[in-house]
Structure 1
Amino acid sequence: MNTTVNKPDRQAQDDEISLKELILKLKEWYRYLLSRWRVIVLAGAIGGLLGFLYAYLKKPVYTAECTFVLEEQGNGGGLGQYAGIASMVGIDLGGAGSSGIFQGDNIIELYKSRSMIQKTLLSKGNFNDKQGLLINRYIEANGLKQEWAEKRELMEISFDIPKDQFNLQNDSVMGIIVNDIKKNYLTVSKPDKKLSIISVKVKSKDELFAKEFTDKIVENVNDFYIQTKTKRSLENLQILQKQADSVRHVLNLSIGGAAAAIDANPNANAAMQILRAPSQRRQVDVQASSAVYGEVVKNLEIAKISLRKETPLIQVVDRAVLPLEKDRTGKAKGIALGGFLFSFLTVIGFLFNKAYRKILE
């Protein structure tokens, strides 16, 4: 008689034994942890107390937010018909048909550039009715002077000097602060990719610094953006304005010369045509100057249209207003998180200790 157990039956039996052993092992661990419940509860209580102290002592983080709408007009279209007219007299209207320096979301990258952040830090803000540099407020709020107590060259550092007088220490400290603001303070984004609304957020434990820094960086970056976008058109407009003033001056001289020539021979003999030549030459000068002046003025007006068309519209929607939004860990949340964390770590420690002893047996 064949008493050999079939292979599938043996596999099922082994699986049943393994499952039974697992259940027994879990019960053993549970009874072990239950015997240590006092220690686990004590660890949870200590963790809850530490969580409460953390929530109580931790300074809140303030968030200042400014949102604005950026709208840029197309550079082609209606000005195309004027570009040809202007090119006939050798005038470049600047931007007619070009895409400009900035495109799309590049203004967001401007906010993260060192030059803009540095310019903002060197701007003056209003702190409790007192004017002061933002970088000095940052140093004070973060207690950097205490960290520099043993470094004389840093203790004597000053940013209340012209930028071109900065030394190596100034540039070094400025670089560290700029990087810290880029990583931990400043956030620039488009909440909705389909819209032209841009949000600028600054988080800081210093409420006044967060508000002032937000206001200043929005002002600095947006002004720089507009100036750069319209730089070429503005330069062309200034050139055309100088040309118009110059031609107008020549026209005035020509008109005066024609009048003087007529006054020199008020009753010229009709038989002596040579006497009329000076006044006729002056009249020709007046007509030529008038024609040139009219063309320059026309192109000057076209350049003004081009400048207005290339100037982006930046309209602030919401500014940072005191009191700012405050992010602070609640005391109940601190107690719950601290208690859970310490209890969990204690349980893990007991299980690890029991497993280690089993291995050594």
Structure 2
Amino acid sequence: MTRPPVPDGGPDLRPELTLVEVLNTLLRRWRVVAGLPLVAAVGTAAVSFALRPTYTATATFVPEGRNQNRLPAAAAGLVGGLGITLGAEPTQSPRFYADVVRSRELLERILTAWYTDPRARGDVTDSSTLLRMLRTKGRNPADSLARGVKKLNELISVRVDDQTSIVRVSVDGEYPALAAAVANRVVEYLNDFNTKKRQSQARERRKFTEARVVAADSELRSREEAVKTFYERNRGWQQSPELTFEEARLRRQVEIGQQIYGTLKREYETARIEEVNDTPVITVIDRAVPPQERSWPKHVLLIVLAVALAGTIGVLWAFGAEYVDRARRDPHDDYRELRSLLQRVRRDVRRMFTRTRA
């Protein structure tokens, strides 16, 4: 089938490109269409294999869920009956642990800790600080430590599952064993930090309740002494309505004092136990183990992306070159204008280069 003729100066009534024309265009420039992806694949493979491998070790844990409300049992029951849920302490939230992992104090402690050096050869076992193995250099030790904190912060990632409260700490590293050791050390220091924080809070609470227990004991003894004195002075108080009322008031004060003293005493004993409690506050689900496969670079993925990108560029270049060739041969006004514009751009570029050299 032949194309309809195009009148001079009239619109281009030719149909769209057919499949045969597309294939012809690609085959006429097959060297670029096929060669560019091949070169991209070989170059990407060479670069990806030359890059240092990165391994990712992951440790998984769940924080201890403790209800930290200090209300008496009766008050807690009343609040629960009203449909109000007493939530856990904010420092027991999984998000809290995610923020603590990136705290400067914890990162500095991890950097200055000692680890088995994976660069040691043979049977020789050597150890070094993580800061030294990361090869961070600064103007002085403080600057080196600050740079190390920034670099380590980039190597650590934390993911929190809000539904299960599971926290995953991942560490990227050049050496699998070192990445696993750092991930496990992060979990260990997190537990140590929270244990010390809990013990510190319990110590302060113990000091406060201890003082309040002494004061409550003194007040209770004073009220009990008042009741004793009342009975000694008023042996026939049952016969007098006024004395009966006074006796009930004094006895009520004693009962209130006993309740306050009992509550404070229980809080004091609980604080004493918490002060020396060193049980873990997080439950480790999976300790980090040295990964067997690298997490980066992904050779196959990089090569596929490079081939796809280079192939797209090659196809676009082939159709662009075909369009330019038609513009040179076709006498149509649009193509003549395109040729003049291309020539003008070429002249402008030459003038720019000439001025730059001058």
Q: TM-score, normalised by structure 1?
A: 0.58
Structure 2 matches for 1:71-82, cutoff 5 A?
71-76=64-69, 80=72
Q: CA deviation at 1:19?
A: 9.0
* Alpha-carbon distance in structure 2 between the residues aligned to 1:35 and 1:239: 89
Amino acid in structure 1 at the alignment position of 2:171: V
Q: Is the counterpart of residue 342 in structure 1 residue 334 in structure 2?
A: no
- The counterpart of 1:360, out of the listed 339, 347, 357, is 339
The equivalent of 2:127 in structure 1 is 131
Amino acid in structure 2 at the alignment position of 1:360: R
Amino acid in structure 1 at the alignment position of 2:149: V
Secondary structure at the counterpart of residue 52 of structure 2: coil
Structure 2 matches for 1:1-361, cutoff 5 A?
21-23=15-17, 28=21, 30-76=23-69, 80=72, 100=89, 102=91, 104=93, 105-128=95-118, 129-139=125-135, 169-183=140-154, 185-190=155-160, 192-237=161-206, 300-304=268-272, 313-329=281-297, 335-355=303-323, 358=327, 359-360=338-339
Contact 1:33 / 1:350 at 8 angstroms: preserved in 2?
A: yes
Secondary structure at the counterpart of residue 22 of structure 1: coil
Call closer, same or farther: CA 1:335–1:76 in 2, change over 3 Å. closer
Call closer, same or farther: CA 1:197–1:352 in 2, change over 3 Å. same
Call closer, same or farther: CA 1:203–1:44 in 2, change over 3 Å. same
Secondary structure at the counterpart of residue 317 of structure 1: strand
Secondary structure at the counterpart of residue 106 of structure 1: helix
Contact 2:38 / 2:307 at 8 angstroms: preserved in 1?
A: yes
Structure 1: gaps (5+ residues):
1-16, 84-96, 145-153, 158-167, 245-293
Q: CA deviation at 1:341?
A: 3.1
Call closer, same or farther: CA 1:306–1:208 in 2, change over 3 Å. closer
* Alpha-carbon distance in structure 1 between the residues aligned to 2:212 and 2:91: 29
The equivalent of 1:248 in structure 2 is none
* Alpha-carbon distance in structure 2 between the residues aligned to 1:312 and 1:137: 30
Contact 1:50 / 1:338 at 8 angstroms: preserved in 2?
A: no
Call closer, same or farther: CA 1:68–1:335 in 2, change over 3 Å. closer
Q: CA deviation at 1:65?
A: 0.7
Amino acid in structure 2 at the alignment position of 1:136: R
Amino acid in structure 2 at the alignment position of 1:75: Q
Call closer, same or farther: CA 1:331–1:224 in 2, change over 3 Å. closer
Q: TM-score, normalised by structure 2?
A: 0.58
Call closer, same or farther: CA 1:330–1:118 in 2, change over 3 Å. closer
Amino acid in structure 1 at the alignment position of 2:16: L
* Alpha-carbon distance in structure 1 between the residues aligned to 2:66 and 2:12: 73
The more displaced of 216-225 and 62-71 is: 216-225
Call closer, same or farther: CA 1:35–1:114 in 2, change over 3 Å. same
1:199-244, CA deviations, whole angstroms, 9 ceiling, x for partnerless residues?
1001122323312221222222221123223422123436778999
Q: CA deviation at 1:116?
A: 1.5
Q: CA deviation at 1:121?
A: 0.7
Contact 2:61 / 2:282 at 8 angstroms: preserved in 1?
A: yes
Q: CA deviation at 1:118?
A: 1.7
Q: Using the aligned pairs only, state the percent identity.
A: 22
Structure 2: gaps (5+ residues):
1-10, 76-85, 119-124, 214-260, 328-337, 341-358
Contact 1:72 / 1:310 at 8 angstroms: preserved in 2?
A: no
Higher normalized contact order (CA 8 Å, seq sep 6+, divided by chain length): 1
* Alpha-carbon distance in structure 1 between the residues aligned to 2:38 and 2:198: 61
Secondary structure at the counterpart of residue 91 of structure 2: coil
The equivalent of 1:289 in structure 2 is none
The count of corresponding residues between Structure 1 and Structure 2 is 256
Q: CA deviation at 1:194?
A: 1.1
1:133-154, CA deviations, whole angstroms, 9 ceiling, x for partnerless residues?
1110111xxxx6xxxxxxxxx5
Contact 2:34 / 2:311 at 8 angstroms: preserved in 1?
A: yes
Contact 1:82 / 1:302 at 8 angstroms: preserved in 2?
A: no
